[in-house]
Structure 1
Amino acid sequence: MSTYKILFLDIDGTILRPDDTMEDSTKKAVQLMKAQGIEVFLATGRPLHEIAEIAETLSIESFIGYNGAYAIYKGTDVLKEPISPELVKSYVQIAQQNNNELFLYTSTHNLLTHPNSPITKEFARKFHLHKNKTYTEEEIDNILGITIIHAKEEDIHRYEQFENIHLSQVNIEGFRHAYDVISDKVNKGKAVSKILNTLQFKKEEAIAFGDGLNDKEMLSIVGEGFAMGNADERLFSYAEHKTTSVTDSGIYNGLKSLGLIK
């Protein structure tokens, strides 16, 4: 029996290649882990209501979404941490002042501050965000995650002026103008810790793969953290291992290096 019990996989740049396809080796790796009784979670910044097709392809039923604000284990909620309405209101105001655009995510749909903007439409197409509505303050209490798009480097400090908040640049070519809002108290690492405690697994029994700075807390907290070969270079210091890229069987090769694939 494997000494490992649980595996966390980021989606964009980790499972999905730049052209949004998935390598056969990735599908095989997940299948082999499940056959060994290892629990597999998708751990993403995406809203969970938009990843059904990926989950179905890999036969995965457990998830961390919204960069750690919401986690589900086989249909049961493990945690749900909305962003404070005060912070949401401040971010909407800052975005208006700096001509940035926002995607705000609830548990059932996405709220867009500029739904007709070409750059908003491009982002929605790239990340397959279909359940979209125009943002109104009536939903301010329901926000689980925020992505800032069309942002310039000089805009970043305006959003990071709030305590325990930092931005994570989207690690996808052509979308480096987009930043996920990450809380030091609500992130993928905190969600992983909660799941490990709930399932009574040790961190040494956990593996994770990621490519972006929104994965740094997750890779730091598990026993075997893998940064993809295509990862943001700043992520490598947070990972125990570096594997090959998403276009070169990175997940498969990483798991093979642990002896989980022969």
Structure 2
Amino acid sequence: MTFKVLFLDIDGTILKPDHTYTETTKTAIEQVKENGVEVFIATGRPLIEVKDLAQELNVDSFIGYNGAYAVYQEQTIINEPIDELLIRKFLDIAKANNHEMVLYTKDRNYYTSLDHPFVKQFNDIFQLKQNSLFTYDVADQIIGVTVMNIAPSQAYLYEIEDNIRMSQVNIEGATMAYDVIRKNVNKGEAITRILKRLNIPKEQAIAFGDGMNDKEMLQAVGEGFAMENAHPDLFRFAKHRTTSVSDSGIFNGLKVLGLVK
């Protein structure tokens, strides 16, 4: 099989818990690119926060904000903001339940509080820097949302439409955080649109992920890999299971396909 495109999640897939990556991960990306494979970073993170990593790995195409925004070789190809009315409902729910939120635009990360301990912890874990206090004048520009200080039993509160599901963040120290995922706007839907645009069949696409926000992504490609450190519920959506992020999971998965050596 000839493979033409590779999609890689960041946290728990490229990056280890200490915010570094194994040298084999960089080597794997270099080798597949030399063989003509397009490489996309596909993350829940805001893209403004991944530029340094992308430069280090020599990647210039992205899916960010869990599929709501995508860039192919510096050209924006997906931009799907969340309906402002829905954002206002989320904010009301968060306020009524003492939750905190970060609401992402393509330029900034807007927090309902900058001082709450959960916010500080979240920022330490993900090393987010482009941060401001939320104001309603950007409510129509939001392309992604993460809710913090929320118990698993409360996640349903935000599933106020059939199109919404909540995805627990699969990073140690951040399990009290959930991403808001739209069923029609997610990593998998973004990949389907990208494959169509690039005229690449699903069978020639590969993806690696570890969180439940990667569920649709692993199903949208021919060869989906769940990392050993993945959320336990993710494995049933993956065709393959590879080693952990700390044990060269991307390299070892690509080696199974004969793409690296």
Partner of 2:107: 108
Partner of 1:155: 154
**Aligned-partner Cα distance in 2 for 1:199–1:66:** 21
Structure 1 residues 4-153: aligned runs within 5 Å: 4-153=3-152
**Aligned-partner Cα distance in 2 for 1:212–1:157:** 18
**Residue identity matched to 2:14:** I
Q: Secondary structure at the match of 1:42?
A: strand
Cα displacement string for residues 41-79 of structure 1 (whole angstroms, at most 9, x for unaligned residues): 000000000101110110000000000000000000111
**Aligned-partner Cα distance in 2 for 1:59–1:31:** 8
**Residue identity matched to 1:74:** Q
Partner of 1:224: 223
Cα displacement string for residues 68-115 of structure 1 (whole angstroms, at most 9, x for unaligned residues): 000000000111000010110000000000000000000000100011
- TM-score normalised by L of structure 1: 0.98
CA contact (8 A) 1:78 1:194 kept: no
Cα displacement string for residues 205-262 of structure 1 (whole angstroms, at most 9, x for unaligned residues): 1000000000000000100000001101100110110000001110000000001113
Q: CA deviation at 1:125?
A: 1.9
Structure 1 residues 189-208: aligned runs within 5 Å: 189-208=188-207
Percent identity between the aligned chains? 52
**Residue identity matched to 2:251:** Y
Segments of 5+ residues of structure 2 without an aligned counterpart are none
Q: Secondary structure at the match of 1:247?
A: helix
- TM-score normalised by L of structure 2: 0.99
Tell me the C-alpha RMSD between the 2 structures.
0.8
CA contact (8 A) 2:156 2:166 kept: no
**Residue identity matched to 1:143:** I
Segments of 5+ residues of structure 1 without an aligned counterpart are none
The number of aligned residues is 261
* Segments of 4+ moved more than 4 angstroms: none
**Residue identity matched to 1:224:** E
**Aligned-partner Cα distance in 1 for 2:174–2:125:** 9
**Aligned-partner Cα distance in 2 for 1:86–1:66:** 19
